[in-house]
Every structure is written in C-alpha cells, then in structure tokens.
Chain A
Amino acid sequence: MRQGRWRFLTRRVGFYLATAWSAITLNFLIPRLMPGDPASVIVRQLQRQSGESVSPETVAAIQKLFGDPRAGLLQQYGDYLVSIARLDFGLSVSRFPTPVGELLGAGLPWTLLLVGTTTVIAFLLGTGLGIAAGWKPGGRLDGFLSPMSTFLSALPYFWVALIALYVFGLVLGWFPLGGGFDPDLYGGPGFLGSVLEYLVMPAATIVFSAFGGWLLGMRNMMVTAVSEDYVLLGRAKGLSSGRVMFRYAARNALLPSVTGFAMAIGGVLGGALLTEIVFSYPGIGYLLYDAVSKRDYPLMQGVFLLTTLTVLLANFVADSVYVMIDPRTREAGR
C-alpha cells in the first residue's frame, strides 16, 4: 500500500516540475514573441526615466533577461535559465537599480500572511456553513445561505475592498486606510499588534468574497452524501444526528474540497493581489501594480514567476495531503 502512494507522488512531482518548466519557458517566450526587441525598449525607457545614459553593465543585465538581440534564441534561453536558477530576476526598472529578487523577497511574507490567513478562515467558515446548509437541503438555512453565497462569490474582490475601505476606514474610521503596519512602531514592542490591526480589513474582505465558493461546493457534496445508504444506516442505528452529520456525511463529502482547496489557492492569490492594491498592502500585489503602471517588465515577470511557483508548490502540498487522507489511493498499489 505504501507503493501506491509513492508511485502517485512521484508522478505528481514529475507533473509539477514539467508545469514549472513550461511556466518559466512561457515567461521567456512571451516577451520575445512580441514585435520589437524588448531589451532595447527597456533600455530606452530607463534612459528616459533617469535622464542619463545607461551603464553598459545594466544593459548587459537587461539583455540577459530579455535577450541580447544579437544572440541566438537558444543561447538566450540558456542564459535565461541560468539566471533564473541563480534566483537572479534582473534589476527593476521603476526602482532602479534595486534587484527584482530583493523586492519580491520583501513583499512575499506580507502576501503569504494575507493569503494564508484568509484561505484558512474562508475554507473553515465556508465548509462549516456548507455542512450545515447541505444537511437539510431545501431547508430554511439552505434557502438562505445558498443564494446569499452565490451573490457573495460573484462580487469582485477589489470592489468589496473599496467599499470596506470607504465604510470602515473612511466613514467610520475603525481601521487604518492602508499599509501593512504602523511605521512609527516598526521593530518596536507594538509592532505585531499593528501588523494585526492593518491585516484585519484586507483579510476580512477576501474572506467575505471567498467563503461563498467553499460553502456552495461543500453544500452540493453534502446533499449528495446525505442521500447515501451509509447515512441512512447511521440514522437507523439511532446515532445522534450530530454524529451522523459529521462522522458519516461530512467526512465523506470533504474529500473533493481538499482538491478544491489546492485549486482555489490560485484564485485567492489573484484576489489578494488586487485587494493589496486597494489597501496599499506591502505585498506582491502592490509590487505588481507598480510594475504594471510603470511598465516595469522585469518586475512584472518576476511577480509572475513567483506567484506561479508558489501556487504550484501549494498545489503539490495539497495533492500530498490528499494522498494521505484518501484511502483509495492506498488501495491502488495493492
């Protein structure tokens, strides 16, 4: 039975490596497929921004990422792979000469904090309510929760964020208007408290627009599970309805949600990037906005690679967890 699991996991590792490779290659190809020579465009732009001519080293750095027009495509690809392997994403154009890697490193913890807390809270909240709604399909709770979550999951994240900022930040003044922490408290004793305080609103808006999706998914699985024979058996045995609900029905209905969990991370991350922009939260999303609005292509590409690889990693972890808890993958190897 061990064997089945291992075979599954090695196949998944292979799949994720192949996907990561194609994302990296895509990142290499897209700028080169576009008309014009990206390296010279960036150099020109840099010149315009700083008002002075660009040093040869910088030109070389940009050409390493975006292609020296004189080098062959294969040569460029090799150079590109080497620099990616060294975690060298080039230099940011908008915040020249800071390396893109440094900017990403500073932003990542904030995004992980935001996405991590919101994913877990939205999952628990949505799944819990989904169990309750699906237990009595068509009941009063279901009749209220299902349409409501349909509405909530259709709300654009950034729009909810705007309204939250307007109502709770501006009109009521309960929460800070933006940023990740109080700069006066940086490194001091109140720092963690201020991080939490600044986290509340962005996190709450993401949970608000994300938990509906979980609720609907779990509700549908639960409705299917409730009509299964084993649930009937549980009831016939005279077990308490709480026990039948959680031990019999919900436990079995939960498995698809685990795979859903993995796939939703990509979506939640996308939502978090947009939400960060509204709250000027110092994570990857804010960097992305900066990159897009200032046409900072090296930074844009760095953000793309980082988010993609993070999502792939998260998916892989969820896949592995799935193998641990799904008994069927154990049987497969027998």
Chain B
Amino acid sequence: MKVRVGIGIIAFFAVVAVIGPWLNDLMGIGPWKIDYDAISRPPGGGHLLGTTSQGTDVLAQVIAGTRNSMVVGAVAGVIGIVLAVVVGVTAGFFGGRIDALLSFLTNMFLVLPVLPLTLIVAGYVQDTGPITIALIIGLFGWAPGARTLRAQTLSLRGRDFVMAMRMLGETKTRLIFVEVLPHLAGWISAMFLHLVLGAVLAEAGLAFLGISSADTVSWGTIIDQARQVALLNGMWWWFVPPGLCIALLGTATGLVNFGIDEVMNPRLRTADIKAMRKALA
C-alpha cells in the first residue's frame, strides 16, 4: 500500500515533467506569460494558485519548474547511482588494495560537506543550466550509496551460492553481473530514489542561493524569487506550492523505501499479524 502510494506520487510528477508545457498550453497559461490585470493576486478564478508580483501564473511556473527539478533529480540520480555501484561493488567484491583505496575515497566524499562543495564548483562554472547543476550534484552525492553497496557486496561475496559459483570457475565479471548485482537490485533502487530526492533538494538549495541560470524555472528558483518579495507582501501562495511539491516527492520516496526496506530486511517487517496484513494489502 505504502509503496503503491509512493510510486503513484512519483509517477504523477514524472508525467507532469514530461507533458508540462502542453499542460500549460492546454490551460492557456504559461510560466512567462504576464497578466497585467492580475498582479500579486491570491488564488482563485482565473489563476488557480494566484499570481506573482510580476503577474505570472504560479501554477504555470510550478508545472514548468517540475520538469527542470525532475530532470536535475533524474540525471544526478543516474550519475550518482552509477558511481555508487561501480565504486561500492568493486571495492566489496575485489577487496584488498582496491578496496582500501576506494573505501578511502568513499569516506572522504562522505565527510566533506556536500552543499558548500557543490556551491564552490557551481560558483566557478560559467554556464549553470540544469544539466550542469545535475552533473555537479551527481558527482558529489554518490558516497553514502557506495558505502552501503560495499558492505552488502562483502556479505554477498561470502555467501554459499557465490562461493559455489566461484568454485565452478565462473569469471569475475559474470559473477558480478549475474550473482551479485541482481541481489543488490532492491538496495540500488532505494538508493536511486534517495539520490533523486537529494538532488532535487540540492538544486533547490543552490537556486535559493542564486546559483542557477536566470532563464530556467525550477521549484528552487520559484522559492528564491518569492523570498525576496512575497514575504513582506504576505503572498504565501507564491512560495508554498513549490515547497509542498518537493516535500510530496520526498514523502513518496520515503514510502517506497519503507517498502523496499521491509522486503530487504525481514526483521523490519512488523511481527504482528494484523500489521502485516495491512502492509500486504
């Protein structure tokens, strides 16, 4: 149940990200369309979520922002998860020197504070479009995932079925792809969702600090623009929706991860039968 709700919410945002521009056209609104008759208008009638102080439609901006926020999340998530799998599984599977070196690298990225680090890089890179931002966030966000995957690979490597295959003379590549990776699928998907959410939050944080190009709309840039004007004029409708979207996406991620956790770690499954039935329903 939890998982279904979670996946439903994520799918919803994914769909909005894909069809966003058409959706805006369909409703006759646009993120840059200025309605001079309705400036700083609260939600209602012509503008479902009200308008900004420039007279643009908040709903249209949120819809347009969904695409950029989701793109940053997805791209950064893919980069992060690939790095985490490569580093974590390699370290766990091969052990020895390779492990020592990769673990050191992982631990280093784990303790460095990510926000200031991304900020410094983003500050120097000239073109800070969504893809650049996603690249930077992905490059700095893989460490926690790599650490977990390393631990899991270590424990998998020692299990009987992997040992047996190794005795049979399977190549290491085949062992990794056929025996190890499929067993990590649950972890990897949970981590991927986590990375996506982390990236959406990080992008919002960077946009909030003013690092993002002026002609992209994302949930973060909307909050940033609103902060400067909306607060003093009491225009809550301007900054509440984008933040709620981020929180909803985050909750969905959490719900899916709950479900995956319960499959991966049977002990987390609630012992009492009533709750179990509920969880299965």
Binding site for B on A (CB under 8 A): 15-16, 18-19, 22-23, 26-27, 30-31, 34-35, 137-138, 146-147, 150-151, 153-156, 158-160, 162-163, 165-166, 170-171, 216, 220, 223-224, 227, 263, 266-267, 269-270, 273-274, 277-278, 288-289, 292-293, 295, 297, 300-301, 303-304, 307-308, 311-312, 315
Contact = CB atoms under 8 A, between A and B. Distances in A.
Contact of A159 (B114, B243, B268, B271): B243
Most A C-beta atoms less than 10 A away, residue of B253, B270, B274: B270
Contact of B239 (A27, A35, A159, A315): A159
Contact of A155 (B111, B115, B250, B268): B250
Contacts of B201: 154, 156
Interface residues of B, number: 61
Contacts of A150: 250-251, 254-255, 258
Contacts of A171: 234
29 contacts: A15-B104, A19-B107, A34-B124, A35-B126, A137-B272, A138-B275, A147-B2, A155-B243, A156-B205, A156-B223, A156-B246, A158-B223, A163-B240, A166-B236, A216-B254, A223-B270, A224-B265, A224-B267, A227-B271, A263-B111, A270-B114, A270-B115, A273-B116, A292-B211, A300-B119, A303-B116, A304-B120, A307-B113, A311-B111
A223 B267 contact: yes
Nearest to B255: A150
A154 B197 contact: yes
Interface in B101-144: 104, 107-108, 110-117, 119-121, 123-126, 144
A248 to B, nearest CB: 16
A165 B231 contact: yes
B204 interface: yes
Interface in B221-269: 223, 226-227, 231-232, 234, 236, 239-240, 242-243, 246-251, 253-255, 258, 261, 265, 267-268
A274 B205 contact: yes
B216 to A, nearest CB: 17
Contacts of B279: 138
Contact of A307 (B116, B265, B270): B116
A292 B119 contact: yes
A270 B205 contact: yes
Given A159-B204, A224-B265, A270-B205, 19 more contacts: A19-B111, A19-B112, A23-B112, A26-B117, A137-B271, A138-B272, A147-B255, A150-B250, A151-B251, A158-B223, A159-B242, A162-B231, A171-B234, A227-B267, A274-B115, A292-B210, A293-B209, A300-B123, A301-B120
Most B C-beta atoms less than 10 A away, residue of A22, A138, A155, A159: A159
Contacts of B210: 289, 292-293
Contacts of A170: 231-232, 234
B-side interface mostly: helix
Contact of B117 (A16, A267, A293, A304): A304
A154 B251 contact: yes
B205 A308 contact: no
Most B C-beta atoms less than 10 A away, residue of A151, A156, A292, A304: A156
Contacts of B250: 150-151, 153-155
A15 B267 contact: no
Most A C-beta atoms less than 10 A away, residue of B121, B197, B248: B121
B105 to A, nearest CB: 10
